[in-house]
Structure formats: C-alpha cells, structure tokens
Amino acid sequence: MDTVWKELHSSYQEQNWIEKPSIFAETAIQYFPKNGKILELGAGHGQDSFFFAKQGYDVLSSDIEISSLNLNFTKQPEAIQDKVEILQLDLRNPLPLEDQSLDVVYAHLSLHYFDTQTTSFIIDEIKRILKPEGIFAFLSNSINDPEYSTGNSLEEDFFLINKVTKRYFSIASMRKFTQEFEVSLLDCLGKTYKDEAKGISNLVRFIGSKASRRNYLTAIPFVGAIIERVNKGILEVLIQTRWKPQTDPIYTGTFEFPVGTLDKPYESIYTALAREIDEECGLKLKNIIADSTTAIVESNKEDAVFGFRPFCCTQQLKNGKPWIGFVFICEVENTEPKFYSDESKDIKWVKASEIKQIFTQSPEKLFTLELPAWEYYFKEKNF
C-alpha cells in the first residue's frame, strides 16, 4: 500500500496545481470555527494543510506515506512549519488522538478506499476525536464517476480497479455513513483541479458538525394535507417533490403531500394546516373532508381545549427525527398551485391512480413518513 501511494504522490509532484489549496479546502474553511486544531487525513503533498496553517489554524497533517509531505513541509516558511505537525497514519488502525481533542477533521479524496466496515470504523474514530459541534469535512468519489462499476466488484459501490480498492458514494450512502453528524453541506457538486481535465465535476461533498446532543427530548408534532379534487370526473391529488438536499438528503427527491411542523405554542391544528397549505403551495384551505371536532372547552382554570379527528396519524419509529403527526384530506379554493416553498418543487396535480401505482410498485419514491397515510387513503377510496 505504501508503494502505491508513493508512486501516486510522485506523479502529482510536478503538476501545476500541487502548491495551491484545493477547491474543496477553500469551500470547507468557510464552515470551520475561526481558530482551532485541524487533523487532515490523507494530506498527500500537504497543500491544504499548509493553506489552513496560513489561515492561523494548528494542523496535524497525516498520510500513510509521508515522503512527499515531508518534502513540501521543508519548503514552507518557519512560521508555517511551527503551525503544522506531520503524522504517519494508517486509517485502518485507531487514531492515536484523545477523545474530543480536535475542532476539525478534514479529508480530501482520502476516505473512499475502504470497505463498509472499515469506512464505518474510520468515521466512528473521527466522531470520537472531534469536540462537540466539531466539523467533519469530506470530499469523495461519486457513483457518477466514469470509473464506477469498472474493475472487480467487492461489495456494493466498492471495486478493485488497477490494484486499488475504491468506494463510490451517493448522497444517500454518504448520509448513511455520516448519520451521527448534523449536515451543513451535502451535494454532488465537488470539483478538483486534476479531474477538471477529465470533465469530472460531480464529487460528493459532505460538511457536518458532531451533534452535541443526539437524542431528542420530545416527539415533534406535524400536520399534513392530502389535497384532492375531481377534474373532468377523475380524482386528482396535489403532489410536490421534497427538496432539502442539505438537511434531509435521504428523502430529497421523493414525492410528498404538504406537511409542516407545529412550531407555535397553542396554535390550533387547523390554523397550522391552513398555514402549511398556503406557505408550501400558495393555496387557500376550503374544506376538510369528514371534519369532526368538539366545541372548545374552557374551565375556571383559564385553560381551553378541544378535540378533533384527523383522517389518520403517522409516527416515525426509528431513525430520522421522532415525528408524530395528523393528516387531513382537504379541498382548496384556488386550484392551481403556486411555488412558494424553498423546501419543495414541482408542485402539480396528479391522478390519484398514478400515486396508487407508485405506492404499490415503487414505494421508495414516496416520502416514507407519509406511506401509512397513503395506505389509509387508497383503502378509503377503494382503489
């Protein structure tokens, strides 16, 4: 392995981009704290480590093969050398660093060479050594790379290509590996100078923070609306594409009906329902099908309560956030939606029968939290 990396680093030494910071480093540093200690994993020639040091950070610059790193270190001004320490690390082994001792862990194209078990182990080690709210920045190969699925397949998205094992990430798989981190940036828009000539500009970028508190203290209530109409005798429902690539990349791109959090104390469920329909679709709530409520009951304790019957309720039982919500079947006044929300797109009326077909044949295309509501809906409509 050391010989492979020594040959690779040697081939890069004469490139005109080798002495300037990477494109990803210039992006990632915007998410870093103003000062602190950075560990770079797989630093190669050290250009990003030296860039971070020039910005005032203390840097641990590491690689499994450090001859090129040492060579370029000797070319740096003494002030930069004082800010950088070089470590030889094999990432397959535990990191020789104390728990919660670093502010940033940075990896530029160095963590996509391992099988699933080893990748998970490395990320667990990164989580261990990061301080609460510390930053993890990671650029990796993408499943959209021209090399993807060449060579010998070792496991899903993991191949042996020209004597080197390589993993190719999707946004979904990246989020799965980094699920213990709060996402600040996750997309497939990464670029490098060496790949620009090859036309590759779809590397996966991840920047996230170590959650200071993983567990939620309470469930999170939400309200949702299956909005329907009859158009020329055909039952239609309003569908939008969920679009939260940075905060919810796993479900981004799935179809959903409008939902929103009850984020105001004592706000009526019906007020929240109307607000969400208006904010997400630009539509006015006209009627709730089979609506049933009690009168508002007040007592001499100056409180007030009422009862209501939603069409159905759904609850998240594991992973994600602890959602629990109330779904209603609704009609709206103005029937053509307007694009208001920055968290959804492609709002449109679709035949209910088409959604039933998706529900039956490709349920993964629908937002998981809403699947039980669709099941109740199609039973109600005798589809």
Distance CA 352, CA 323 (A): 25
pLDDT at 197: 64
Phi–psi pair at 329, nearest 5 degrees: -95, 125
pLDDT at 320: 73
pTM, entire model:
0.61
pLDDT at 16: 55
Say if residue 281 is exposed, middle or buried (CB neighbours under 10 Å; 0-12, 13-18, 19+). Answer: buried
Half-sphere exposure for 234 (CA within 13 Å, toward CB): 9
Kindly give the confidence (pLDDT) of every residue in the chain, 383 residues in length, as a single tens digit, with 9 standing for 90 and above.
Answer: 445 545 544 445 555 556 789 999 999 999 999 999 999 999 999 999 999 999 999 999 999 999 989 989 999 999 999 999 999 999 999 999 999 999 999 999 999 999 999 999 999 999 999 998 999 999 999 999 989 999 999 999 999 998 899 999 998 899 889 988 988 889 888 989 877 666 667 899 999 998 765 566 789 999 999 999 999 999 999 999 998 776 677 788 899 999 999 878 889 999 999 999 998 888 999 999 999 999 999 877 778 999 999 999 999 998 778 899 999 999 999 778 876 666 788 899 999 999 999 999 999 999 999 999 999 999 999 88
Say if residue 265 is exposed, middle or buried (CB neighbours under 10 Å; 0-12, 13-18, 19+). Answer: exposed
